[in-house]
């Protein structure tokens, strides 16, 4: 072997070794992230789930929708049934879920707590690195959100039609028609948890809307340039940038989601909204009195916009650890906001303890029967209200269409000027 060839061969071996190391590091990273997910996203009662005859018959007829899950965060292949966590396509299908909102949670402070967090730390970057996400996602939040959208699109593309990402009212209508003929399909809708994902510029609403996001919360666990968080330091309302963002979101048919917003932000959003406002995963202070939850007046104000309240499945919003606790929280929300304005907001895979995974939603149908709701009310709460809201508010169709390109990920043209 000539020395040039030896060097070339050595280079090839080094490249192969580096590739193998990267793969091993990725597998190790995924394993470590999976362990973290299993530790944080717990399930009180493991499947299989037994329900009454009446619940089984009714649940099979429902169009079930859930307004919040963080399943895009943890690196699992959502086409495979997971051994931990709560949501993936096989479990959505088994649970008869017609639509799961998949949220991009782009930044999460260390030592997360309900009362007071600042924006200086970022645990999601550790996940991004451990899972081998593109380096652009390590540095900025907008590429991180876009990457999470691209993960959803790739799952849909590989799913043999079992998973669709709904972006328009036309998508929803086509999905409904197809689901009538082929029940083994389910759908996702993309959301963003916290407008810090816009990297400070309200004009980036156009970029996330183009990527297919259809809901966004002004703030997540910390105050940002747009709005105060219920868990922030100042807990202020919408800023001028925040007001501009809300206007731009409405202009792009995105729903403003006040889950996690400070009380002042909730009031500011509702006061300026011209379109329905939602609280995707929330509770009411009449059930659990916490900064995370809405007052009766706020719940009614959201209902008056035409929006819905997605009632959460974890103890600090529903007041307990069982399906019966969620049903009681839902019954209270109906009394406050009206039957047309209550929905499900599980927070599956959201680092909270929940009673069951997505295959166990039938237990909630059973608990709602037990709580005295009639079939029509159960149909509305379990997904009918969300269907109505989306049919009325999604952009009509063919306006954006689509799967984002890898060029969008690099996104050098994204403005971060403010
Ligand atoms: Zn959340």
Task: Give tens-digit pLDDT for 226-285.
Answer: 999 999 999 999 999 999 999 999 999 999 999 999 999 999 999 999 999 999 999 999
- What lies within 8 Å, CB to CB, of 22 at 6+ separation is 132
Residue 77: pLDDT over 90: yes
Measured in Å, residue 9 CA sits from the centre of ligand 1 at 51
Q: Among residues 285, 291, 284, which one has the least CA distance to residue 260? A: 291
Measured in Å, residue 304 CA sits from the centre of ligand 1 at 23
Q: What is the pLDDT of residue 3?
A: 55
- Residue 320 C-alpha from the chain's centroid: 22
Q: How many CB atoms lie within 10 A of CB 413?
A: 8
DSSP state of 381: I
Measured in Å, residue 6 CA sits from the centre of ligand 1 at 55
Is the bond preceding residue 132 a cis peptide, omega within 30 degrees?
no
Measured in Å, residue 326 CA sits from the centre of ligand 1 at 17
Measured in Å, residue 17 CA sits from the centre of ligand 1 at 40
Q: What is the pLDDT of residue 9?
A: 58
Measured in Å, residue 194 CA sits from the centre of ligand 1 at 9
Residue 401: pLDDT over 50: no
CA dist., res. 149 & res. 190, Å (int): 7
Measured in Å, residue 217 CA sits from the centre of ligand 1 at 9
Measured in Å, residue 86 CA sits from the centre of ligand 1 at 15
Q: How many CB atoms lie within 10 A of CB 390?
A: 21
Measured in Å, residue 11 CA sits from the centre of ligand 1 at 47
CA dist., res. 66 & res. 383, Å (int): 7
Residue 52: pLDDT over 90: yes
Mean pLDDT of the residues in the chain: 91
Measured in Å, residue 177 CA sits from the centre of ligand 1 at 32
Predicted confidence band of residue 32 (pLDDT cuts 50, 70, 90): confident
Measured in Å, residue 320 CA sits from the centre of ligand 1 at 18
Q: Among residues 364, 363, 381, 358, which one has the least CA distance to residue 43? A: 358
pLDDT over 70 for what percent of the chain? 90
What SS3 class is residue 357?
Answer: coil
CA dist., res. 295 & res. 283, Å (int): 9
Two tokens, residue 117: 């967090």
Measured in Å, residue 1 CA sits from the centre of ligand 1 at 61
What SS3 class is residue 9?
Answer: helix
Two tokens, residue 217: 């919360």
Measured in Å, residue 407 CA sits from the centre of ligand 1 at 29
Measured in Å, residue 100 CA sits from the centre of ligand 1 at 14
Measured in Å, residue 46 CA sits from the centre of ligand 1 at 23
Q: What is the radius of gyration, based on Cα positions, of the chain?
A: 21
Quickly list DSSP for 245-257: HHHHHHHTTPEEE
pLDDT digits (tens, 9 = 90+) for 311-327: 999 999 999 999 999 99
Q: Which residue has the higher pLDDT, 113 or 336?
A: 336
Measured in Å, residue 212 CA sits from the centre of ligand 1 at 20
Q: Which residue has the higher pLDDT, 410 or 131?
A: 131
CA dist., res. 294 & res. 302, Å (int): 10
CA dist., res. 328 & res. 312, Å (int): 12
pTM score, two decimals?
A: 0.90
Two tokens, residue 292: 């995370």
CA dist., res. 222 & res. 169, Å (int): 33
CA dist., res. 255 & res. 122, Å (int): 26
């Amino acid at each position: 072997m000539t020395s040039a060839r030896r060097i070339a061969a050595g280079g090839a071996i080094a490249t192969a070794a580096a590739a193998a190391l990267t793969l091993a590091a990725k597998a190790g990273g995924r394993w470590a992230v999976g362990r973290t997910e299993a530790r944080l996203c717990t399930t009180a009662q493991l499947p299989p789930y037994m329900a009454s005859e009446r619940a089984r018959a009714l649940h099979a007829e429902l169009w079930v929708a859930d307004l919040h899950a963080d399943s895009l965060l943890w690196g699992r292949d959502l086409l495979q049934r997971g051994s931990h966590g709560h949501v993936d396509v096989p479990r959505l299908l088994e649970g008869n879920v017609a639509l799961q909102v998949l949220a991009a949670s782009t930044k999460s402070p260390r030592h997360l707590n309900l009362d007071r967090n600042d924006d200086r730390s970022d645990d999601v970057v550790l996940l991004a690195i451990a899972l081998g996400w593109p380096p652009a996602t390590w540095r900025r939040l907008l590429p991180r959100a876009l990457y999470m959208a691209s993960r959803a699109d790739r799952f849909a593309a590989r799913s043999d039609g079992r998973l669709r990402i709904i972006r328009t009212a036309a998508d929803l209508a086509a999905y409904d028609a197809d689901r009538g003929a082929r029940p083994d399909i389910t759908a996702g809708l993309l959301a963003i948890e916290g407008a810090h994902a816009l990297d400070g510029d309200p004009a980036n609403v156009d970029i996330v809307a183009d990527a297919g996001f259809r809901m966004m919360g002004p703030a997540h666990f910390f105050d940002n340039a747009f709005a105060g968080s219920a868990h922030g330091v100042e807990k202020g309302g919408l800023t001028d940038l925040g007001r501009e963002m809300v206007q731009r979101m409405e202009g792009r048919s995105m729903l403003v989601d006040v889950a996690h917003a400070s009380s002042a932000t909730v009031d500011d959003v509702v006061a300026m909204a011209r379109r329905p406002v939602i609280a995707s995963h929330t509770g009411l202070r009449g059930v659990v009195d916490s900064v995370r939850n809405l007052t009766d007046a706020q719940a009614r104000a959201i209902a008056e916009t035409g929006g819905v309240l997605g009632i959460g499945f974890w103890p600090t919003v529903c007041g307990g650890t069982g399906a019966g606790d969620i049903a009681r929280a839902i019954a209270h929300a109906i009394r406050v906001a009206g039957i047309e304005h209550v929905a499900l907001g599980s927070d599956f895979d959201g680092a909270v303890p929940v009673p069951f995974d997505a295959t166990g939603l039938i237990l909630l149908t059973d608990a709602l029967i037990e709580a005295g709701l009639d079939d029509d009310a159960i149909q509305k709460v379990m997904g009918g209200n969300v269907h109505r809201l989306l049919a009325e508010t999604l952009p009509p169709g063919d306006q954006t269409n689509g799967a984002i390109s890898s060029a969008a990920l690099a996104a050098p043209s994204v403005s971060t000027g403010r």
